[in-house]
Amino acid sequence: MSVLTPGLAPNEPPLSRDEQRQAFEANKLAKRLRRLSAKAISDYAMIGPGDKVMVCLSGGKDSHALLDILLFLQQRAPFHFEIVAVNLDQKQPGFPAQVLPEYLAGREVPFRIVEQDTYSVVKRVIPEGKTYCSLCSRLRRGVLYRVAMELGATRIALGHHRDDILATFFLNLFFGGKLKTMPPKLVSDDGRNVVIRPLAYLPEKDLARYAVDRAFPIIPCNLCGAQENLQRQQVAQMLRDWEKRYPGRIETIFNALQHAAPTHLLDRKLQDFLAIEATGRPEPEGDRAFDPENLPMPGFASADN
């Protein structure tokens, strides 16, 4: 009996006190994750009437939870939308190709398995000891975008959660020199696909518990899972340490990403600083542009002397 199914089957022995507690906690967790996902979908207008949502199912805990939650919400949404699950078989050695088709068929979910050997490409191009993630994700993204067009999907749903969004923010901050992260909804660079992240509000630790409660058939990624020095893993550990030492800090940082103040940053593309003046004061005369190239350097004689 699933821990999320209330009631007992005929002739089934009653649950022990511990089993009742576990069932209660599992139901409470499921309700919270579904509610937060529904809120994210609503807040960012991710899914609308008539949409065909292509759920990218890798076999990991996050994409399994994404599909499971969307299937639940599909039955209760005030409008109709379609779901189709897509798995990219990247031909990694030992990949259990039968697991996901059997699981999806058992749940009566429309699906498509796409076979493309990106594994060999990554192994050939990336030198030993270097991280595979960047090239692997680019190749995978290109295939999925193509499949979305073939299926007529209007939305591509990815299983990135709150911790992924925060880690990406700090990766860009520390290593890329940019203030950017994974938005909950965006248009792909080619302008042909809309990508959504319905799990944007969900903590990873809750998704891990949910995967156990729901007994998803998890398939680990063996391509990069053994790479211990990934910058993303280092940032994720930093965030876990912060949360342990300062409970609530992660939530505060995530809230900050939802309340950006572009006028209080230094990006000249976001604001015309030359036009900023206090109201009620006379406008200064002349060209106010400052030319740093024609200034005499302090401590040195002028070129005219």
Q: Are 33 and 207 a contacting pair, CB within 8 Å?
A: yes
What pLDDT sits at residue 54? 98
Q: Tell me how far apart the alpha carbons of residues 166 and 180 are, in angstroms, rounded to a whole number.
A: 10
Confidence (pLDDT) at 139: 80
Backbone angles phi, psi at 201, to 5 degrees: -95, 0
- Distance of CA 189 to CAs 87, 145, 186, 289, Å? 22, 11, 9, 35
Asked, for residue 283, whether it belongs to a domain, the answer is no
What pLDDT, on the 0 to 100 scale, is given for residue 108? Answer: 96
Q: pLDDT 10s digit of each residue in the chain, 305 long?
A: 344 444 455 567 787 888 888 899 999 999 999 999 999 999 999 999 999 999 999 999 999 999 999 999 999 999 999 999 999 887 777 788 899 999 999 999 999 999 887 777 777 777 666 666 666 777 888 889 999 999 999 999 999 999 999 999 999 999 999 999 999 999 988 888 999 999 999 999 999 999 999 999 999 766 554 454 578 888 999 999 999 999 999 999 999 999 999 989 999 999 888 888 887 777 666 666 667 777 776 655 544 54
Helices then strands, counting H and E runs in the chain, come out as 9, 6
Q: What is the pTM of this model?
A: 0.84
- Split into its structural domains, the chain has a count of 1
Query: Is residue 286, in this structure, part of any structural domain at all?
Result: no
* The length of the chain, given as a count of residues: 305
Does residue 92 belong to any structural domain of this protein? yes
Residue ranges of E strands in 58-180: 82-89, 111-115, 155-157
28 in any annotated domain = yes
* Inside any domain, residue 297: no
pLDDT of residue 4: 42
Provide the pLDDT for residue 201. 98
Please tell me the predicted confidence (pLDDT) of residue 228: 46
- Interval 167-226: pLDDT, tens: 999 999 999 999 999 999 999 888 889 999 999 999 999 999 999 999 999 997 665 544
Please indicate, yes or no, if residue 160 is contained in any of the structural domains.
yes
Q: Using CA atoms, how far apart are residues 115 and 140, in angstroms rounded to an integer?
A: 11
Residue 271 lies in a domain: no
Question: Which range of residues forms the domain containing residue 112?
Answer: 18-257
Phi, psi of 156 (to 5 degrees): -115, 115
Apex 200 CA angle, 198 and 206, nearest 5: 100
Instruction: Tell me the pLDDT tens digit for each residue of 119-137.
Output: 777 777 776 666 666 667 7
What would the DSSP string read from start to end of 231-242? HHHHHHHHHHHH
User: Residue 72 has which token pair?
Assistant: 């639940």
Find the CATH number of the domain harbouring 217: 3.40.50.620
Q: What does the alpha-carbon distance between residue 292 and residue 49 come to, in Å, rounded to a whole number?
A: 56
264 inside domain: no
Q: Which amino acid is at 298?
A: P
Please give the pLDDT value at position 297: 62
pLDDT at 222: 60
Q: How many CB atoms lie within 10 A of CB 281?
A: 7
